[in-house]
Amino acid sequence: MLMLLFQLGDGQYAIPAVEVLEIAPQVELEPIVMAPECICGLFNYRGLHVPVIDLCKLVNNRPCSDSFTTRIILVDHLLADGTQRVLGLLAERVTETINIDEDVFTSTGVNMEQTPFLGDAARCEAGLVQRITVSELLPEAIQSQLFPAEAG
């Protein structure tokens, strides 16, 4: 399976490339007042206002570094009501894809209630890579704040 590889601090993570719509450069974002800390703002993507999640802040409790390889990964995010909306994921060292066989991914043995999006891990030529499940990134309470029309 082709995976988009990136880093969050010292850890390596990946999402299936088939879930990636586009990779955008890090741009200046419009702040969202009173948003949870992991929401770093909005930007205009082809006429849509797209919220951006800082994955470093979500996983490591520190913002992504402001470097040349920090990018916004645009994905379709499946909401609780079954609709899809574009979501931006800010991550570091977004520079390559890698093929990882599905059967190489195994359970980490860790099940943290507050991080259901952290999935299985694989040991490959890039080292230890943990899969992120995009559909599990946003709890329903945050989904309803970012996408209120779809919340009910």
Q: What is the CATH number of the domain that holds 39?
A: 2.40.50.180
For residues 71 and 96, the answer to whether their CB atoms sit within 8 Å is no
Question: Number of structural domains, the chain?
Answer: 1
Cα–Cα distance, 103 to 34 (Å, whole number): 42
* pLDDT tens for the chain, residues 1 to 152: 999 999 998 999 999 999 999 999 999 999 988 888 889 999 999 999 999 999 999 888 999 999 999 999 999 988 777 888 899 999 999 989 999 998 888 888 776 666 778 888 899 887 899 999 888 888 777 887 788 765 44
Count of H helices and E strands in the chain? 2, 9
**Angstrom distances, CA of residue 82 to CA of 45, 48, 100, 125, 135:** 22, 19, 28, 36, 11
Domain holding 49, by residue range, is: 2-146
Distance of CA 122 to the CA centre of its chain: 18
Residue 87 is predicted with a pLDDT of 94
Residue 116 is assigned to a structural domain of this protein: yes
22 within domain boundaries = yes
In a domain, 137, yes or no: yes
Task: Tell me which DSSP letter residue 65 carries.
Answer: P
Is there a domain that residue 152 lies in?
no
- The answer to the question of residue 45 being in a domain is yes
CA distance 110 to 24: 32
Say if residues 15 and 71 touch (Cβ distance below 8 Å): no
